[in-house]
Amino acid sequence: MASCANCAAPLPANSQVCRYCGVRNDMDLLGRQAVRVADAGVKRQCPNCEIGLQTVALSREGTPDIERCSECFGLFFDPGELEVLLEDSVAPVADFNLPLLQNINRERYQADRPVKYLKCPVCQVLMNRMLYGYQSGVVVNRCKGHGVWLDNGQISHLLEWKKAGGQLLDRKKAVERQARGRTETANTEFRSNYAAPTNQAGGEFEVLETIAEVVFKLFE
């Protein structure tokens, strides 16, 4: 679980506001990265607060700059940036811990959270809501052309998910889906190749049967 940078108390699920000291924590990246504002421009707009997003730079080399709202601390990632950040911020794991993943999701699940469709910070078109990865429990807003929006606290959830082996489990399920798809395709091709001759043979049998009935009537 993420901790408050001010008093070290555990932060509530899906929030960066400390319940003990009241400090609003910035992005939690397991304490491994410092954050500085690289650009306070207003080209991209927060879909929640409708103010310009800041561009923030992370201290680790190779980590992409990302957009952040200074009010709600939501984050916007260009295509591929979220995956780079997850890879850079969490050490590789050898296996997945399914009970831990389930506990993380139970703790962070918000049954009363309203479903809200947000506009893309770039094109202002409504984004699609989708689950990020198998057993992640994180529903993100994605614009196919411009990137992914994460609400306050969701980056912490995804970091915990990856640390518990969620990304490994997601890749395992993807391989299984591909294998099922290949099997279904092969079965479909098999049926299409062998169904036609069977029907054709049945049709020829019906024709022969009709001819036999005509010949039989001629000799009655």
Token pair recorded at residue 100: 């831990």
- What is the structure's pLDDT at 62? 65
Whole-number percent of the chain with pLDDT over 90: 22
Whole-number percent of the chain with pLDDT over 70: 73
pLDDT per position as a tens digit, 76-103: 999 999 998 888 878 888 888 888 888 8
State the burial class of residue 180 (Cβ atoms within 10 Å of its Cβ: 0-12, 13-18, 19+): exposed
DSSP for 181-193 reads: HHHHHHHHHHHHH
Strands, E assignment, 19-156: 35-39, 54-58, 66-68, 75-77, 128-131, 139-143, 147-150
- What is the structure's pLDDT at 29? 47
pTM of the full predicted structure? 0.68
Nearest to 143 by CA among 163, 123, 162, 161: 123
Decide if pLDDT at 33 tops 60: no
| 173 or 19, higher pLDDT | 173
Helices 98-108/154-163 angle, 10° precision: 170
Rounded to whole angstroms, how far apart are CA atoms 184 and 146? Answer: 33
**What does the domain layout of the chain look like in residue ranges?**
35-164
Decide if pLDDT at 48 tops 90: yes
